[in-house]
Structure 1
Amino acid sequence: MIHEADEVLKKLLSGGALAGTGVEIAFEAPTRDWAARRNAPTIDAYLYDIREDSKRRESGSTEVRDERGMVLRRRLPPRWFRLSYLVTAWTKRPQDEHRMLAAVLATLVPHELLRPEELTGSLAALGLTVPLTVAGNLDARSSAEVWSALGGELKPSVDVVITVPIPSFPEYDAGPPVEELGVRVRATAGTGADSAERYFPRRPGGAVAEAGRAVAE
């Protein structure tokens, strides 16, 4: 899931306002040594924090249905994790870096919700919309802490958070679907015979047909 989020972010950053500029997209830790080796304009998206978004945790189970609406399996709801990226621009002049960061904002801000068709691999297969937060006020580690841990100098950056679903296991197979319901009225003592059993076909979605067929015993 994490590498697929990287691919989505790289695709977004390579397009939009940065399309055709020749800017490289990297996912390296922006240490002093790495910065010294840069010889081309680069946008670096360093993944510095991974933590669960506990507010999105759900209980119970969800149903997996076929094209007729029948329940095939039941699965636990996915767990959601926030992937926090420190996005920085690297070139020779601060003004150029500021322009690149402005392009990052212009490119990512319109994509606050990533639809399944914008995702890749197993992320897309889940069919869920993935939120993307740009420069939000989240409780991840501060930029100053990150730069201190990297041993580098504080530099303008944009915090980008992609909250991705991670499937929970196991899945449980559902029992065979109910195709029809049978009804029989039993007589009390001295009131006559029991009624014939009547069967009511079940329609897709769980509704029972109004008209049934009588079957004599």
Structure 2
Amino acid sequence: MIRDLSQTLRAILSQPGLPAELAAAQIAFDRPAEQFKPQQTTVDLFLYDVRESVELRSSEPVIERAGGEAVIRRPPLRVACSYLVTAWPVGGTEPALQEHRLLSQVLQVLSRYPVIPAQFLQGGLAGQEPPLPMVAALVDRQKSLSEFWTALGNRLRPSLTVTVTIGIDIFTPETVSMVLTGELLLGERTAPDETALKAGTEVRSYRIGGRVTGAGDAPVAGATVTLVERGISATTGGDGRFVLGAMKPGSYTLHVVKGGTAKDAAITVPAPGGENYDVQLT
């Protein structure tokens, strides 16, 4: 993921329509130590800090439902990656001014994007949600510039910092079967601040879900599913699934119609172990 981020920043700084000096510069990711002496004009982005973004930490999972199953994805680790950006002009008569101009062009380009647009995202970052925030010219007050450059093994020179926060998946998605029956319990509480219900006041009702399929177990969309005894109906979605409710426990009949094909299925609510409310319409 971090390599993909570096390639993403390279894509931003290599896009068409950039100022001539920046467009002609190569984009590197080397440590700007004393021995770093590029042979052509270069913009160097040195990754010097990687840490979790505690402010963006989330514990809310994302749940995707399809085919009677639910895929639970725990939120990714949010990681802030900081790059030291320096300019290294080669040739010309006033290298210092060329360096300043090149840095200002980089700053202008990166500052256009508070979040990185999708067209620049590379590798595993493509399609990542939420969008990746980017901050250019960020001031790190905990960093002493002179000590920082001494640690790098070079003399102090103009630079700016760009920080991008990415998501890194560290948990394996969990796939579970979707609930077939939902139970609703109504009644009078034993006290306003208690959840227990008074005996004899409980009323149980259920909501059921199932799937209508055709030949080859293909989902049947747009079928009408009716609970005959209650006279309530639902229409299946693109995945063939339907939901009906509410109803008391008991025996019922599902009447399924699609075009000129119909089928009745006897069901019990709640479903006994191993049974479901799926109907094959053939």
* TM-score (normalised: structure 2): 0.61
Q: CA RMSD in A?
A: 3.4
Aligned to 1:135: 137
Structure-2 change in CA distance of 1:142 and 1:128 (3 Å):
farther
Structure-2 change in CA distance of 1:82 and 1:76 (3 Å):
same
SS in 2 for 1:17: coil
* Unaligned ranges ≥5, structure 1: 189-195
Residues 12 and 120 of structure 2 are in contact (CA less than 8 Å); yes or no, is this contact kept in structure 1?
no
Partner Cα separation in structure 2 for residue 42 and residue 182 of structure 1: 65
Letter in 1 for 2:76: P
Structure-2 change in CA distance of 1:197 and 1:144 (3 Å):
farther
**How do 1:114-153 residues align onto structure 2 when only pairs under 5 Å count?**
114-138=116-140, 141-153=143-155
Picking from 77, 87, 90, the partner of 2:75 is 77
Aligned to 1:164: 166
Of Structure 1 and Structure 2, which has the larger fraction of its residues in helix? 1
Structure number with the bigger relative contact order (C-alpha 8 A, sep ≥ 6) is 1
What is the deviation of 1:50?
Answer: 0.6
Structure-2 change in CA distance of 1:162 and 1:181 (3 Å):
closer
Aligned to 1:17: 18
What is the deviation of 1:142?
Answer: 4.4
More displaced stretch, 18-27 vs 39-48: 18-27
The structure having more radius of gyration, on CA atoms, is 2
Percent identical among aligned pairs is 31
What is the deviation of 1:75?
Answer: 1.5
Aligned to 1:26: 28
Aligned to 2:271: none
Residues 113 and 131 of structure 1 are in contact (CA less than 8 Å); yes or no, is this contact kept in structure 2?
yes
SS in 2 for 1:174: strand
SS in 1 for 2:148: helix
Residues 11 and 120 of structure 2 are in contact (CA less than 8 Å); yes or no, is this contact kept in structure 1?
no
What is the deviation of 1:60?
Answer: 3.7
Of Structure 1 and Structure 2, which has the larger fraction of its residues in strand? 2
Letter in 2 for 1:73: V
